């Protein structure tokens, strides 16, 4: 896809913050994308992180032993490519180690990154809360990645553990939405259409709730408003 105008991209991101991942999942089902949700063990860190919405920038790494105590230059180089409205998507099947903590999250936020989704661990969770940087990860751990896990590339499609399939492929520019129900990936080519349909579905649900509060039985409210 062609790069989006910054103002347009920001408007799309803010509108996605007002829709639910469940409605996005329903719309994706209707459009023939039934396997876009990430595995249920992706949880918000901190627990109060709230909703996360933005355009994916992918970072891939691997568990491997290596010498050195000066950090991972490839990780810093990848983070330097993050832009406004991005969500850093970290792939690499971490086992017991964190992919980043407070200081790298500060650097990501400085570049306009709005949060992260991590196929591994994070640490400094209390500080992440202080900085308002939402992370959805598979676990938290105090153990650093230096000498244990390193970045091998960025910007290319990456696999992430899926909810209804083994993996979900995430490409740079796909849309990431995470909330209390889980994390879902919207392919870039349908992100605009999915947003409009999810907004319409959300409005219909608001109307249904209103009808029910007014005393209309659920079945009648569903029939009246053609809920699917």
* Predicted pLDDT at 189: 97
Q: Looking at the DSSP assignment, which residues form a beta bridge with residue 150?
A: 62
Mean pLDDT of 126-142: 96
pTM: 0.91
Sorting pLDDT into bands at 50, 70 and 90, what band is 71?
confident
Give the span between the Cα atoms of 65 and 32, in whole angstroms.
41
**What structural domains does the chain harbor?**
6-188 (3.50.30.40)
Chain position carrying tokens 């490409």: 171
For the ranges 64-73, 99-108, 139-148, the lowest mean pLDDT is seen at 64-73
- Which region holds residue 220: left if phi is over 0, alpha if psi is between -120 and 50, else beta? alpha
Q: Is it the case that residue 228 has pLDDT exceeding 60?
A: no
Strand 149-154 relative to strand 158-161, pairing: unpaired
Whose CA is closest to 35, among 173, 179, 145, 184? Answer: 184
How many angstroms separate the Cα of 55 from the Cα of each of 10, 48, 81? 10, 21, 13
Strand 52-63 relative to strand 149-154, pairing: antiparallel
Give the span between the Cα atoms of 172 and 58, in whole angstroms.
6
* Predicted pLDDT at 96: 96
Chain position carrying tokens 């509108």: 15
Mean pLDDT of 192-209: 88
Chain position carrying tokens 């969770």: 125
Whose CA is closest to 17, among 54, 42, 68, 57? Answer: 54
Q: In this predicted model, which residue has the larger pLDDT, 206 or 200? A: 200
Q: In this predicted model, which residue has the larger pLDDT, 187 or 68? A: 187
* Predicted pLDDT at 222: 67
Give the span between the Cα atoms of 21 and 121, in whole angstroms.
23
* DSSP-based three-state secondary structure for 99: strand
Q: What is the pLDDT of residues 158-189, one digit of tens each?
A: 999 999 999 999 999 999 999 999 999 999 99
SS3 content of the chain, % helix, strand, coil (to 5): 35, 30, 35
Mean pLDDT of 126-152: 95
* Predicted pLDDT at 215: 77
Sorting pLDDT into bands at 50, 70 and 90, what band is 206?
confident
Mean pLDDT of the residues in the chain? 92
Q: What is the pLDDT of residues 75-102, one digit of tens each?
A: 999 999 999 999 999 999 899 999 999 9
Do residues 97 and 121 touch, judged by C-beta distance below 8 A? yes
Whose CA is closest to 71, among 128, 148, 142, 124? Answer: 148
Do residues 136 and 125 touch, judged by C-beta distance below 8 A? no
């Amino acid at each position: 896809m062609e790069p989006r105008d910054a103002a347009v991209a920001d408007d799309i991101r803010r509108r996605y913050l007002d829709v639910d991942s469940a409605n996005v999942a329903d719309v994706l089902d209707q459009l023939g994308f039934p396997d876009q949700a990430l595995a249920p063990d992706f949880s918000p860190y901190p627990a109060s992180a709230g909703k996360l919405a933005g355009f994916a920038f992918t970072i891939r790494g691997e568990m491997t032993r290596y010498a050195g105590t000066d950090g991972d230059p490839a990780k810093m180089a990848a983070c330097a490519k993050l832009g406004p409205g991005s969500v850093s998507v970290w792939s690499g099947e971490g086992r017991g180690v964190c992919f980043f903590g407070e200081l790298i999250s500060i650097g990501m936020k400085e570049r306009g990154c709005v949060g992260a989704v991590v196929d591994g661990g994070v640490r400094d969770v209390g500080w992440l809360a202080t900085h308002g940087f939402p992370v959805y990860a598979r676990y938290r751990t105090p153990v650093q990645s230096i000498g244990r896990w390193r970045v091998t590339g960025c910007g290319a499609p990456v696999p992430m553990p899926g909810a209804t399939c083994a993996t979900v492929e995430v490409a740079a520019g796909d849309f990431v939405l995470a909330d209390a129900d889980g994390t879902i990936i919207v392919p870039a080519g349908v992100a605009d259409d999915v947003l409009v349909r999810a907004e319409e579905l959300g409005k219909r649900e608001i109307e249904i709730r209103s009808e029910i509060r007014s005393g209309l039985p659920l079945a009648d409210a569903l029939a009246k408003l053609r809920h699917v």
